[in-house]
Amino acid sequence: MGKLNGKVALITGGSSGIGLATAQRFVAEGAYVFITGRRQTELDKAKTLIGKNVTAVQGDVANLDDLDRVYETIKKEKGVLHIVVASAGITELATPSTATAEHYDKVFNINARGTFFTIQKAVPLMTAGGAIVTVGSVAYKKGIPPMTVYSSTKAAIRYSVKGWAADLIGKGIRVNNFSPGVTDTPMLDSQHGTQEESDAMRAMYIKMTPMGRLGRAEEMAASIFFLASDESSFTTGIDLAADGGLAEF
């Protein structure tokens, strides 16, 4: 028997990378999952990979109308929501001295604002015993100039979790943040213009990580599963990292 039998979960950004691996893990544990993403083609591929117990809803978390449509779909199909994994996000590189207002607004709107309202709009569908997991990054603990705006959004997410956890504790809903290290996903390649640049960046990240390798999406999904399941029933408001030691020493 799976540890999420009978649970209904929403995973934003569930069409690739950590979100997709999490959706696969949740279904394997008995959950029914709703996944979102901005690209319909990627959502269709993810739905095929997940195989069963999944509904894919195209949408952008930065668009509040899209979020409303996602929750309307969940309400209509299942009527309740037990788990939310706010995984949708983007990584765009720009140093503080070169970042434009457009870059800043785009990254904050998707990562920080999108995550905040993903949670806010989920709460009316959730019941006591529910769990919310935000997906941040250990980058917020580091000073990496090209990732300054991105890291700032992840810091905003981590500290908003403290407020959400305190606000929802009376409703019996736990809220925790998960901070992955550098993980081998398609998002990593999307940050760079050429394969040569991507390979060089991967080599740099591997050298930076004390365990000497990149994380795997399945490893990140395991940590998210822990926070979403009753395995962490006495845990709320925390920041759990899986980063190969990157931010610790």
**Catalytic center residues:** 150
Q: 143: how many CB neighbours lie within 10 A of its CB?
A: 8
Distance CA 19, CA 37 (A): 10
Burial annotation 50-87 (CB, 10 A radius, 16+ → b, else e): beeebbbbbbbbbeeebbeebbebbeeeeeebbbbbbb
* Cα radius of gyration (the chain): 17
Q: Which of 91, 217, 99, 100 is nearest to 154 (CA)?
A: 91
- Give residue 155's Cα distance to chain centre: 14
